[in-house]
Chain A
């Protein structure tokens, strides 16, 4: 059973990618993606149920393994992938209608652009799933690097000068960052190699390393963790290594940007958490905590001025993502039972809420043919009766306003901060979050509300409309009711983070 699940989760996206590559028509590609990701979500739910019932599962001598933390990340990745694939159908059809692609008589350019999206996206998702399921830290690094490589051409998708610029920065900054993470992985291996059998593959397996972590070489492990934090922090877009993020998020097609923000962020943080557990077991909590708190506060702080004076709403979302990455890092840094729980709750809620914000922004951008605030004269709500209000609601949800779920997770993280005697960072975090809330809300309210500028009505595409309404209902429900099994899974994953 476990073997079928783990293998199936990795095989489904590969198969979907290959089939989409062979497909001839747009309709076929859309169907393959939808069916593939729906099947993936079912498998991910089954895996989570299996892990909850029977504990961790592994196959092939522990080459692939899933504990509750991996199961949570797989579940969220599958959810985001499905939501994005539903939205993508409407999004790219509208792109085609707006003549965004260079077209020749036979529509060949359009089809080849769509080919690129529909066959690279499953590969991209496959790499993310492998990150969560690989037990070997070296293989995990390879998978994270693969997420970068698979998404470079998705970012340069539109072929504009600016999108090529964004893709280049993404590839180069990501490449350098990940080389630091590789160095950190090598050093971890070195600090452990006198304990476990090195010549075999299992020498880098997390499940083996975690048992021996207290005997690791301490100096080496310190350096290793710093390198890992810088490396996977770059991938997660933690300040000051965040510079690729606004460019990539504003230039990529909306479904890709949503996946980068809601799923890749999780994978990078997942990699960081695995090393965090090893480091705290080896050196005790303070060393990692101090570093994490500094980087977390820096990320939240860096986001503030850019949110306040932002000119483009797509870039605004990127700074929001830097801010949320920082909040999660802070949760990890505050530590303790509450910190770990708050961080994972935030990770979950963020993955579910963020795509909604991206979809709204995408609808408005396609409507206005621009993502600059000054091009919009306000009053979007008059021409977009669905996207407009949901955009406002999603903004409130993402900035952590009650009753939405992200308020609960941010509150949990703050309680961890105050409980763990991190008064100053926690107070600073509140101040910065309030500033971001104000900036964000003012921008989006100005965009959505106001007098009718007389734009033609939009919001007619059913794919875009219903993916928005569906996801919005999930976000609303989540504010009041977190399903029991999901909460159990998160609690269980929090125990993994604390190394129990």
Chain B
């Protein structure tokens, strides 16, 4: 069940890599966060980790609803071209994402201890692999995307990978840490949103490859 949902999360991440439209990308991210909240709920239910319900609720309200709405507004407000214009073309990107997923599985394998059956990692080894893949693909997106707002989105999906790793490895971090991370995330998106707006005002574009006056 969890593995199936995690697989869907990964599919959505790869869909994001293959997507050309900005708004669709934001919605894919929302769907991914929604699934993640589902995974957190399931783990909370089956493993009696009540504080995960709160994390799940926050994921749902912040990452699946609030942040996508904010980002979509930002897109509308600054009225940018909808197409993403990545640096690497889509088929090659998909191929690289596939490769990164394999890397994720190889790395996750080193955490597997057959003798250690009580460890939550043995429950969600696939989930961990997915988490590492999300992290790597998010990283890849950061590097290859030119639009400022896509970089923000890639950072958020990278964070989703971390959240998945945290819940699959240890049933989540202690609650106050989880809350702090969500708060940081919220502030980060606000700060980056304002910066995106100012980049657009100053450079009349959101293409971060134009940010190249500072050298040496």
Q: Which residues of B contact A199 (CB under 8 A)?
A: 49, 51, 174
| Cβ contact within 8 Å between B214 and A250 | yes
Q: Chain B's interface: helix, strand, loop or mixed, by majority?
A: helix
Residues facing A in B183-216 (CB within 8 A) are 183-184, 187-188, 191-192, 194-195, 198-199, 202-203, 208, 211-214, 216
Chain B interface (Cβ < 8 Å from any Cβ of A): 49, 51, 107, 110-111, 116, 118-119, 121, 135, 139, 142, 148, 151, 155, 158-159, 162, 165-166, 169-171, 173-177, 180-181, 183-184, 187-188, 191-192, 194-195, 198-199, 202-203, 208, 211-214, 216
How many whole Å from B212's CB to the nearest CB in chain A? 8
Any B CB within 8 A of the CB of A168: yes
Query: Complex formed: what's the CA distance from A156 to B194 in Å?
Result: 11
Query: Given A186-B169, A201-B174, A219-B111: A168 and B191 within 8 A (CB)?
Result: no
A161 within 8 A of B: yes
Interface residues on chain A, size class: 35 or more
Is the beta-carbon distance between A162 and B213 smaller than 8 angstroms?
Answer: yes
Contact of B198 among A164, A182, A247 (CB under 8 A): A164
User: Shortest beta-carbon distance, A14 to chain B, in Å?
Assistant: 15
A142–B181 touching, CB < 8 Å: yes
Of the 9-residue stretches A171-179, A346-354, A359-367, A408-416, which lies at the interface with chain B?
A171-179
User: Which chain A residue lies CB-closest to B187?
Assistant: A149
Residues of chain B lying within 8 A (CB to CB) of residue A182 = 162, 181
Q: How far is the CA of A290 from the CA of B20 in the complex (A)?
A: 43
Residues in A116-148 with C-beta less than 8 Å from chain B: 136, 138-139, 141-142, 145-146
Please report the C-alpha to C-alpha distance between residue A258 and residue B169 in the assembled complex, in whole angstroms.
40
Using A186-B166, A186-B170, A190-B121 as known contacts, list a sample of 6 further A-B pairs with CB atoms less than 8 Å apart, ordered by residue number in A.
Answer: A136-B177, A164-B195, A199-B49, A201-B175, A219-B110, A310-B216
Which of A200, A246, A306, A311 touches B174 (beta carbons < 8 Å)? Answer: A200
A residues 260-319 near B (Cβ < 8 Å) are: 306, 309-311, 315
Identify A168's interface contact among B111, B119, B170, B208, CB under 8 A: B208
Check if A370 is an interface residue, CB within 8 A of chain B: no
B171 to chain A: which residues have CB within 8 Å?
Answer: 198
The docked-state distance in angstroms from the alpha carbon of A380 to that of B175 is 57
Bound form: Cα–Cα A179–B135 in Å: 9
As a 0/1 sequence over residues 196 to 210 of chain A, the CB contacts with chain B under 8 angstroms (1 = contact) are 001111011000000
Interface: A167 (CB within 8 A): yes
Instruction: Give Cα A315 to B121, complex, Å.
Output: 47
Q: Which of the residues B162, B174, B198 comes within 8 Å of A204, measured between beta carbons? A: B174
Most buried by B among A139, A251, A306: A139
- Chain B nearest CB from A161 CB (Å) reads 5
Q: Is the CB of A149 within 8 A of B184?
A: yes
Tell me whether A176 and B166 are in contact (CB under 8 A): no
Q: Which residues of B contact A251 (CB under 8 A)?
A: 214
Least CB distance from B133 to A in Å reads 13
Min Cβ gap B110→A in Å is: 6
Q: List B contacts of A161 (CB < 8 A).
A: 202-203, 213
The smallest beta-carbon distance between B200 and chain A, in angstroms, is 10
Closest to B203 in A: A161
Report the bound CA distance from A168 to B146 in whole Å.
13
* Given A172-B151, A176-B142; A247-B188 close (CB under 8 Å): no
Known contacts A161-B202, A168-B148, A190-B170; A149 and B191 CB within 8 A of each other: yes
Q: In the bound complex, how far is the Cα of B203 from the Cα of A452, in angstroms?
A: 40
Question: A145 contacts B188, CB within 8 Å?
Answer: yes
Contact check, B184 vs A152: say whether CB atoms are below 8 A apart. Answer: no
Give the distance in Å from the alpha carbon of A357 to the alpha carbon of B171 in the complex.
Answer: 48
Nearest-neighbor residue (CB-CB) of A153 within chain B: B191
Q: How far is the CB of B2 from chain A (nearest CB, A)?
A: 17
Which A-B residue pairs are the 8 nearest by beta carbons?
Answer: A138-B177, A142-B180, A165-B211, A190-B169, A247-B214, A201-B174, A145-B184, A161-B202
Residues of B within 8 Å of A306, CB to CB, are 216
Q: Are B155 and A139 in contact (CB under 8 A)?
A: no
Distance A246 CA – B148 CA, assembled complex (angstroms):
21
Q: In whole angstroms, what is the CA distance A400 to B111 when docked?
A: 45
Chain A window 178-197, contacts with chain B (Cβ cutoff 8 Å), 1 for yes, 0 for no: 01001100110110011000
Q: Which of B158, B188, B213 contacts A165 (CB 8 A)?
A: B213
A138-B180, A139-B180, A145-B188 as given contacts; A311 in contact with B170, CB under 8 Å = no
Q: List 20 A-B contacts (CB under 8 A).
A: A136-B176, A138-B174, A139-B177, A139-B180, A159-B202, A164-B195, A171-B191, A171-B195, A172-B151, A175-B188, A182-B181, A183-B162, A186-B166, A186-B170, A190-B170, A201-B177, A204-B177, A246-B216, A247-B214, A250-B214
Contacts A142-B181, A164-B202 given; indicate if A179 touches B211 (C-beta within 8 A): no
- Within the complex, the shortest CB–CB distance from A258 to chain B, in Å, comes to 19
Does chain B have a CB within 8 A of A166?
yes
A93 at interface by CB-CB < 8 Å = no
Give Cα A138–Cα B172 distance, bound, in whole angstroms: 12
Return the contact of A186 from the options B51, B155, B162, B188 (Cβ within 8 A). B162
B194 → chain A closest CB, angstroms: 8
Contact flags A314-328 to B (C-beta < 8 A → 1, else 0):
010000000000000
- Check B176 against A201 for contact (C-beta < 8 Å): yes
Find the residue from A189, A246, A250 having the highest chain B CB count within 10 A: A189
**A223 to B109 CA separation, bound complex (whole angstroms):** 13
Chain A residues whose CB sits within 8 angstroms of the CB of B174 once the complex forms = 136, 138, 198-201, 203-204
Point out the residues of chain B lying under 8 angstroms from A139, CB to CB.
176-177, 180
Nearest Cβ in chain A — how far from B129, in angstroms? 14
Q: Is A169 an interface residue (CB 8 A)?
A: yes
If A149-B187, A182-B181, A219-B110 touch, whether A165 touches B170 (CB-CB below 8 Å) is: no
Shortest distance from the beta carbon of B46 to any chain A beta carbon, whole Å: 16
Min Cβ gap B205→A in Å is: 11
